[in-house]
Structure formats: structure tokens, C-alpha cells
Amino acid sequence: MSAAAPEEILISERNFDSIFSYTAGTVRSKFLTEIRDNKKIVGTKCRRCNTVWVPARSTCVKCFESLKDFVEVSDRGTVTTYTVINVHQTFYPMNPPFVLAIIQLDGADTGFVHFIGETDPEDIKVGMRVSAVFKEDRKGSVLDIKYFKPI
């Protein structure tokens, strides 16, 4: 993938009173538009230490190198840790109980936090293989990945 800036910058909408708007920035916008438009997950790869960051970021926190190279990673990965959410909060996008996990996507060196679906929370295990389930109607949000399901 090229290092060119995305064609659009995404702006996040929040459901709270605020005088601020938040931009995803050029790097995170590329990450989000690839999910939205192509059902692809991209990260940024550090030229110095070769770490692939997902979600994509603009600076490597290992060696402080600017990250300009986008790479596609798999929509499949391994659960490295997880928690079961049992208490309702108004800002949750789903009702408890649900599972929030850190997933090491194939081709990435960092963990990606997301939901696990299509299984009972008691059946989740560290080391479980999962794959992304994308929403049909995608808007440019990390929640365009509905959840990851066991494979």
C-alpha cells in the first residue's frame, strides 16, 4: 500500500455535550476508510524496527520513527486476553454480557481491542482463533467491524 494521505479526513461524532470535534487524522482516517470501503484492515509498518502497528499510528512508540508505510494485515487473529463485561453502561454499543478482547491479527505485532461475538462468553479462551465480521452498512468507524467470531 502506498504512503499517500487518504482522500478524506474522518470526523468523529460523540454523544456528549462538548464544544470540541475530533479528527481521526490522516493515518487513522486511512485505517478507518479501508475498513469502511474495502473491508480491509491496515496497519503502519516501522522502517527502523519493522513493527506493524494496528490500529495504524503515525509514530512508532518503540523507536519514535515516523510511520508512513501502510500494510494490509489479515482480518483473522488470536485472542491474547479478554474480559467479560456484565454491567450496563449507556455508552456501550451492545448490551451485557459481552466480551472485549485484545486480538493479535495475523501480520500485526500489536494487539487490537474489539468485541467477540457468535459465542457464549464462557467459551472464550486465550489462544482462540477469530475472524472479523464486518457490518453491511459501514460509516468509517472501528465499529464497522461488528465483532470477531471464533473460527
Domains and CATH numbers, the chain: 11-150 (2.40.50.840)
3-state SS string over 4-22? CCCCCCCEECCCCCCCCCE
Q: What is the CA radius of gyration of the chain?
A: 16
Write down the residue that cell numbers 494521505 correspond to: 5
Write down the residue that cell numbers 459481552 correspond to: 98
How far, in whole angstroms, is CA 134 from its chain's centroid?
12
5: cell is: 494521505
- pLDDT of 105 reads 98
Residues (pLDDT < 50) of the chain are: none
Using CB atoms within 10 Å of the CB of residue 30, give its burial: 0 to 12 exposed, 13 to 18 middle, 19+ buried: buried
Q: For residue range 17-47, list pLDDT tens digits in order.
A: 666 667 788 999 999 999 999 999 999 999 9
Q: What is the pTM of this model?
A: 0.83
